[in-house]
Structure 1
Amino acid sequence: MSTVQIRDVRKSYGAHPVLHGVDIDIADGEFVILVGPSGCGKSTLLRMVAGLESITGGTISIDGRVVNGLEPKDRDIAMVFQNYALYPQMTVAQNMGFALELAGTAKDEIKRKVDHAAGVLGLEPLLQRKPAQLSGGQRQRVAMGRAIVRDPKVFLFDEPLSNLDAKLRVKMRAEIKALHQRLKTTIVYVTHDQIEAMTMADTIVVMQGGHIEQIGTPLDLYDHPKNMFVAGFLGSPAMNFLDGVVAKEQDAAFLDLGGAGRVPLAGGMSHTVGKSVIVGIRPEDIGIADTGGIPAEVLVVEPTGSETHLAVRLGGQEIIVVLRSRVALIPGERVHLSFNDAKFHLFDKDTKEVIREL
């Protein structure tokens, strides 16, 4: 078993707290991604699991053993850093086997493990090269291979793809996910990129300001965000937010968007009638109406090939619309928008917590 339990973990630098009682349970073989904006505490938490940062309060356990006071080498973890941390004077094979050499592992065993990891990662032709002769993606695979040869209980990844270009990031995402499916080892992965989190994780932990906002599967968090921060952080383009008032007329509920118009609401909202709310709607849940709809002005048209992204002005508010087709629109043109009312998220204007979810 390779479980990780994080219980009421706190971290302060002097009088400045950066983590405020974090609780996470990570199952054996689970791929968990900590995601959030810069400064939210995700990398600090990962380094505490690794033993590279001290713990101010709480406990971290690996396989039921509290590791608070253990050195990194005694935790049976392997960490892949953002900058790869390869030794420039060593070959790929030497880099991958160096930790085993330090541990006194026999040379034939080191070679066996290095060859196995190289086979898993497609590094066999590169074993005698040095890091300077490798591309960014190849260096990243070497850093991963160095972790694999140790056969750790837990892999830790600290923003490993942030130094790669966009095309290579997509390729490496697939490689890391495929690696996890083959090895079935517990992975804790830190990123600020919500696309990485959505495409790779079994479970996402969304963090902000040293607190956990929500934990769940990628689609669970996407479809059922508990507050505006999670709703706005996950999804690209981001969720639209509009100011509105819940109203009722002849037993039909609707959202009054002020000068922008009125949008029908599904039933069950009687308890919020008259309440000022913030309405969340994802760009893909808005379309161009054939008849009726709410008038809007096109501001920007961005064709992406398979989709068309529109920035439009609705009343005095700007929103993004994603169409699954190509459209011949120009800035300044008037369109009428239709909304999938079953996909509305209503948030309390003061607390920013969800009032109604899907």
Structure 2
Amino acid sequence: MATVEIADLKKSFGAFPVVHGVSMDFKDGEFIILVGPSGCGKSTLLRMIAGLEDVTSGTISIGGKVVNTLSPKERNIAMVFQNYALYPQMTVAQNLGFSLELSKMPKAEIDVKVNESAEILGLAPLLDRKPSQLSGGQRQRVAMGRAIVRDPQVFLFDEPLSNLDANLRVKMRAEIKALHQRLGSTIVYVTHDQVEAMTMADRIVVLRSGVVEQIGTPLELYDFPKNMFVAGFLGSPAMNFLPGKLAADGSAALVLNNGESVALARRPDVVGDNDIVLGVRPQDISQDPDNGTAATVKVIEPTGADTHVLVELAGNEITCVLGARLDMKPGDQVRLSFKTPAAHFFDAKTEARLEAFSNENKGQQA
């Protein structure tokens, strides 16, 4: 396995830049996930690491060696694609061993590697089948097995689960994570699904418009997002944002744009009463019939384990995750409390987090 080092990497298609001076280092054996909205450059970045896209400027190093001018074959990486890319006329065993045949490996060695990867991925009973006889999850495991047999320095995954149904995605997430733990491999994984990122990654790289917004562990990014973009991207349902000003009397309260006041668990440590944005995750909002802020129910979504409620509060739409069984309907009035120590505060103009990250407030807010 190997480290991956990216230094001031840029990519343009003609006059159109899509990656803007990205720099990051991935440790040996680390599971890195690149996330971001469509068009943010994450797949382009992965394809540059693989050698499938040329680098406009900057360097990519794998295992301490600059690979900018090397072909994909020379980089000793393996890539798993969204569409599996299996050969339909070949059996599972032939698909698994095809790249080894091309490298002129002896058949006996190929058989050993194919059988080993098949055992790891539960494909042993399927070796004589063709891709058309497999389910989506089985095809994805064959694609992963084809990568494993090559013993690459780095595994690259490009949205490998996006074609699977919801239940199978959950199962395959666990299988890929277990595979990583078993092989101790370096994995760079691209997805637009923040749930995949939160549940699988050692560290997450959040990209927007070809720029790295933040890098950190899943809980670091969830608990201490650098800005409103990261805060809103990670977490399901997404974080709520309420614009306003801190109360002029110095109390722990936010005065909303319509003049209504929302009580806070604490007053943020910021100077002045400039326009700020309160960020609260749906799970941190609670009902408070006596002292809560009035809101009107718009949509109710029972999930079984809990109930997601969309409300209108002072002209803002807010999503709350409330009790498992709620007797309410659209148009009902509820009173909600935002007095949570897990609240976030952002500058309304720059969208940057107003309170700096520190181990001290990490402990207080965890």
Task: State the Cα deviation string for residues 186-221 of structure 1 (Å, max 9, x = none).
Answer: 000001111111111000000010000000001110
Q: Who is 1:117 aligned against?
A: 117
Between 341-350 and 237-246, report the one with greater CA deviation. 341-350
Task: State the Cα deviation string for residues 289-312 of structure 1 (Å, max 9, x = none).
Answer: 142111111111111000100001
Q: Describe the shift of the 1:270–1:203 C-alpha distance in structure 2 as closer, same or farther (beyond 3 A).
A: closer
Task: State the Cα deviation string for residues 170-201 of structure 1 (Å, max 9, x = none).
Answer: 11111101110111100000011111111110
Give, in angstroms, the shift of residue 31 of structure 1: 0.2
Q: Who is 2:71 aligned against?
A: 71
Aligned to 1:97, the other structure's residue is in SS state: helix
Between 284-293 and 231-240, report the one with greater CA deviation. 284-293
Contact 2:154-2:186 at 8 Å conserved across structures: yes
Q: Describe the shift of the 1:113–1:270 C-alpha distance in structure 2 as closer, same or farther (beyond 3 A).
A: closer
Q: Who is 1:328 aligned against?
A: 327
Whole-angstrom CA distance in 2 between matches of 1:74 and 1:340: 56
Q: Who is 1:190 aligned against?
A: 190
Give, in angstroms, the shift of residue 18 of structure 1: 0.6
Q: Describe the shift of the 1:240–1:85 C-alpha distance in structure 2 as closer, same or farther (beyond 3 A).
A: same
Aligned to 1:343, the other structure's residue is in SS state: coil
Aligned to 1:350, the other structure's residue is in SS state: coil
Whole-angstrom CA distance in 2 between matches of 1:45 and 1:289: 47
Give, in angstroms, the shift of residue 266 of structure 1: 4.9
Whole-angstrom CA distance in 1 between matches of 2:288 and 2:265: 19
Could you tell me the TM-score, scaled by structure 2's length?
0.95
Aligned to 1:171, the other structure's residue is in SS state: helix
Between 326-335 and 54-63, report the one with greater CA deviation. 326-335
Q: Number of aligned residue pairs: give it.
A: 357
Give, in angstroms, the shift of residue 324 of structure 1: 4.2
Q: Describe the shift of the 1:29–1:324 C-alpha distance in structure 2 as closer, same or farther (beyond 3 A).
A: farther
Task: State the Cα deviation string for residues 138-169 of structure 1 (Å, max 9, x = none).
Answer: 00000000000001110000010111111111
Whole-angstrom CA distance in 1 between matches of 2:208 and 2:61: 23
Give, in angstroms, the shift of residue 331 of structure 1: 1.0
Residue 47 (structure 1) aligned with residue 58 (structure 2):
no
Between the aligned residues of both structures, percent identity stands at 64
Give, in angstroms, the shift of residue 230 of structure 1: 0.4
Whole-angstrom CA distance in 1 between matches of 2:188 and 2:268: 40
Residue 226 (structure 1) aligned with residue 226 (structure 2):
yes
Q: Who is 1:343 aligned against?
A: 342
Q: Who is 2:19 aligned against?
A: 19
Residue 317 (structure 1) aligned with residue 324 (structure 2):
no
Aligned to 1:21, the other structure's residue is in SS state: strand
Between 321-330 and 12-21, report the one with greater CA deviation. 321-330
1:150-299 map, 5 Å: 150-249=150-249, 251-259=250-258, 261-267=260-266, 269=268, 271-299=270-298
Match for 2:105: what amino acid? T
Q: Describe the shift of the 1:268–1:295 C-alpha distance in structure 2 as closer, same or farther (beyond 3 A).
A: closer
Match for 2:170: what amino acid? V
Q: Who is 1:353 aligned against?
A: 352
For structure 1, the residue ranges without an aligned partner over 5 or more in a row are: none
Match for 1:16: what amino acid? F
Whole-angstrom CA distance in 1 between matches of 2:303 and 2:139: 31
Aligned to 2:219, the other structure's residue is in SS state: helix
Aligned to 1:355, the other structure's residue is in SS state: coil
Between 32-41 and 252-261, report the one with greater CA deviation. 252-261
Contact 1:36-1:192 at 8 Å conserved across structures: yes
Between 27-36 and 269-278, report the one with greater CA deviation. 269-278
Contact 1:18-1:209 at 8 Å conserved across structures: yes
Whole-angstrom CA distance in 1 between matches of 2:19 and 2:263: 42
Match for 2:336: what amino acid? L
Could you tell me the TM-score, scaled by structure 1's length?
0.97
Q: Describe the shift of the 1:271–1:84 C-alpha distance in structure 2 as closer, same or farther (beyond 3 A).
A: closer
For structure 2, the residue ranges without an aligned partner over 5 or more in a row are: 357-364
